[in-house]
Amino acid sequence: MTNSLDSKKYRLERGAGVLLPISSIPSPYGIGTFGKESYKFVDFLEGIGCRYWQVLPLGPTSYGDSPYQSFSAFAGNPYFVDFDILVEEGLLEQKEIDAYDWQVSEDTVDYGLIYNSRFKVLKCAYKRSNHKNKQEYIDFCKENEYWLEDYSFYMAVKSHFNNVEWLLWDEDIKNRSPQAMDSYRSNLEDDIDFWKFTQFKFAKQWIKLKAYANSKGIQIIGDIPLYVAMDSSDVWVHHEMFELDEEKNPINVAGVPPDCFSEYGQRWGNPLYRWDVMEKDGFSWWRQRMKASAQLYDIIRIDHFIGIVNYYSIPVSCPTAVEGCWMEGPGRKLTDVIKDAIGDAKIIAEDLGNLTDNVIALKEETGFPGMKILQFGLDGNVDNPNLMHNYSTTNMVAYTGTHDNETLVGFVGNMKKEDMKFLYKYFDTESDSKLFEAIIRALYTSIADVILIQMQDLLYLDNKARMNYPSTIGNNWKWRLLKEQYKMIDKEALKELAYLYGRMS
């Protein structure tokens, strides 16, 4: 049964919000940053009566540019450090920024351009900075000592080896021999300091932006993946906590089995945790991770929460997910640690997928709100649990769709005509032009404590603006908002919906 105290503590205030990653924020430098346009987006949220802003994971991205495959479960993405703020601080000159091309198109992130230029500019700022002796920087390093030195050392060594994955480094440093560690740390001292500097600036700019949002009555929902990337400082440093062989290659990897959406399932490739090893030290790595996340976000959405209860294990030799099997996770042993670590922060449990009885039981025991995806309910089945009239609890977060889904316009546009008849009846409209407005309005009326709408859905954009096609690489995480697109949104109408259905303060 649900603990009444937990239920009340983790309950989210009734409200509406928008899902928009930092990378999609407008900026002249190819990707969204923590600069003035992010503050303008906060003002936009306030103007439409929103209480929530959900961002995707903020970690540094690796091959494929996915925020769910990061070089660290703790570090922030240096791409988001705003250049204009560094100019104001006297750490950069505009000509140093303008020496590079940052974008081919304002509505698309070109990660190749950014990768080849951004760190050169940040190093200009680093060389001009006198941060090392400032108390603010010293305090930052001390507060983040659990991960900061390891991550910065890892990135410096990675750069030394032309950015290949750590499994391809020389054997001595790959295996972290004491002699090699001392030698590389001494030879790469300046590079290590540079990576610390980027994290210092990331944290300083983000915390200021978050404080601004909070001052406007807007809470930040941060998304964290359950698993970490194989090519990460976490696995390199804490290899004993993962299912690796003697050569430190993964034995089994994460994913999900075949279903109606994917014939072969999804093989994510992340190394699996050795939960028994983690339990022996009280899940200290998880405790530190959740503590750090609670400093960055007001609410933490744990992606693939199901994996805490039941996780899918795929032999590394299998190129798809068809040969995997379900294993038992730590369950409440871990969620108790999570609750203890996050203080006043709250949790959203992403409980989509194989929702077994034991997953439902744990979610109810913790009091964490789960999720519903409206798109999943538009199949013409009136008993579909993702339709608003079937919502069984208010303690939930309802989405039009997430970063992994089609846009609402794209989804409806791909439906068969006979299936569209159900939509017109359910949302009480016969007009194509009014259908999406009616769908969003219906979500506002629902009993769900929180509703979240992709920015693309507020703009009625098609699948050209889709954020991610799961299990694919090369054309994801690129969509960006244009400044002029704010004009396409009826702000007063959205504010009226928030007022009418009790979703604004």
What's the mean pLDDT in 230-239? Answer: 98
* Local structure of 363: helix, strand or coil: helix
Share of the chain above pLDDT 70, in %: 99
Say if 192 falls within a structural domain: yes
Whether the predicted pLDDT of 1 surpasses 60: no
Say if 1 falls within a structural domain: no
Q: State the pairing for strand pair 396-399/450-454.
A: parallel
CATH code, 395: 3.20.20.80
Q: In what order do the strands lie in the sheet with 219-224?
A: 346-349, 299-302, 219-224, 52-55, 15-19, 450-454, 396-399, 370-373
Share of the chain above pLDDT 90, in %: 92
Q: How many CB atoms lie within 10 A of CB 33?
A: 25
- Report DSSP state, residue 11: P
* Local structure of 342: helix, strand or coil: coil
Whether the predicted pLDDT of 260 surpasses 90: no
Say if 45 falls within a structural domain: yes
Say if 102 falls within a structural domain: yes
Please give the mean pLDDT across all residues of the chain.
Answer: 95
Tens of pLDDT, residues 433-477: 899 999 999 999 999 999 999 999 999 999 999 999 987 888 999
Contact 347, 373 (CB under 8 A): no
Contact 331, 247 (CB under 8 A): no
Say if 317 falls within a structural domain: yes
Full residue range of the structural domain in which residue 370 is found: 7-500
Q: Return phi, psi of residue 347, to 5°.
A: -125, 140
What's the mean pLDDT in 16-33? Answer: 97
Tens of pLDDT, residues 65-102: 999 999 999 999 999 999 999 999 999 999 999 999 99
Q: What is the pLDDT of residue 98?
A: 97
Q: For the chain, what is the domain count?
A: 1
What's the mean pLDDT in 261-285? Answer: 94
Q: Return phi, psi of residue 69, to 5°.
A: -130, 90
Give the pTM: 0.96
In sequence order, the 6+-apart residues with CB closer than 8 A to the CB of 328 are 309, 310
Annotate 136-164 with DSSP letters as a single string.
Answer: HHHHHHHHTTTTHHHHHHHHHHHHHTTT-
Say if 389 falls within a structural domain: yes
Token readout for 487 is 């004009």
| Spatial separation of the C-alpha atoms in residues 443 and 453, rounded to whole Å | 9
Q: How many CB atoms lie within 10 A of CB 469?
A: 13
Tens of pLDDT, residues 165-181: 999 999 999 999 999 99
Say if 2 falls within a structural domain: no
What's the mean pLDDT in 370-393? Answer: 95
CA-CA-CA-CA torsion sign (487, 97, 105, 403): negative
| Spatial separation of the C-alpha atoms in residues 199 and 378, rounded to whole Å | 43
Residues annotated as catalytic are 303, 350, 404
- What distance lies between CA 191 and its chain's CA centroid? 27
Whether the predicted pLDDT of 358 surpasses 70: yes
Q: What is the pLDDT of residue 5?
A: 57
